[in-house]
Copies of this chain bind each other. A is one copy, B any other.
Amino acid sequence: MTSEMPPIPWHKARRADTRQPLTPEAVVEAGIRVLDRDGLEGLTMRRVAQELGTGPASLYAHVSGKDELMELMLERISGEIRLPDRPEPERWKEQIKEVCREAQRVYTAHRDITVVSLGGIQLGPNKLKVAEFVVGLLLSAGIPRQVAAFALDGLGQLIDSDAYEASLYTAKIAAGVDVDAYFDGVRDYLARLPEERFPLLKDMAETMVHGGGDERFEFKIEVFLRGLESYIER
């Protein structure tokens, strides 16, 4: 014998809820999944909500808006960066390179997230952990404090911009573009430039497109580190 009342017709029944309640962490993880699949341009609150089986308005109970969501995603992604076990000052350059390669690897794996990083100063614990390690290495190598601080900026920018650029080529490849043909096209274009205006670029067309993304990235970091080396106080 049931004493339950029938449902009031204008009340919206909540679905029998087998889903976990939302958390900020769940929102961020869903955001990263959408980013990885659709890129930053495809990252919409509706898609994130859909990924969680809910509606976009529900996300605002956990993040203040899309900007905050992206910052949280960046910080979460930065946590994937693995650092060397311990600093080895005698090979500081090689270790900085390792960290740079690793950061670039992590960011590149998450589409164009580094546009968010280029936006300014991040103070989350994951980002600061990397910074602390890099600063420690630079100081142990004898680089002055202010130089080390500025170097953090420079390395960060080289990593971020390179990862962003790499993401665009990755997206091209995923969209079916033949990237080799693309670079051939750039080379051919340079080779066809008017001689009187662009003699060097024309002559160096092959050189300009030579080298893959990783080779270019390695070179830029190497150049920057050589420059830093000149500041070592000994």
Copies of this polypeptide in the complex: 2
Query: Which of A131, A157, A210 counts the most B-chain CB atoms under 10 A from its CB?
Result: A157
- Return the contact of A158 from the options B115, B154, B168, B189 (Cβ within 8 A): B154
Interface residue? A162 (CB, 8 A):
yes
A158 to B224, CA, bound (A): 11
Q: In the complex, which range does the number of interface residues on chain A fall in?
A: 35 or more
Given A135-B204, A139-B200, A220 and B157 touching (CB < 8 A)?
Answer: yes
Whether the Cβ atoms of B220 and A226 lie closer than 8 Å is: no
- Return the contact of A132 from the options B120, B165, B201, B226 (Cβ within 8 A): B201
A117 nearest CB neighbor, chain B only: B161
Whether the Cβ atoms of B211 and A150 lie closer than 8 Å is: yes
Whether the Cβ atoms of B224 and A164 lie closer than 8 Å is: no
A169 to B118, CA, bound (A): 12
Within 8 A of B (CB), among A164-214: 164-165, 168-169, 186, 189-190, 193, 197-201, 204, 207-208, 210-211
A225 to B193, CA, bound (A): 28
Q: List 7 A-B contacts (CB under 8 A).
A: A123-B189, A129-B198, A132-B201, A148-B204, A154-B219, A223-B228, A226-B226
9 cross-chain pairs, A with B, having the tightest CB-CB distances, nearest first: A227-B227, A223-B227, A226-B227, A154-B220, A157-B161, A150-B219, A161-B161, A226-B230, A149-B207
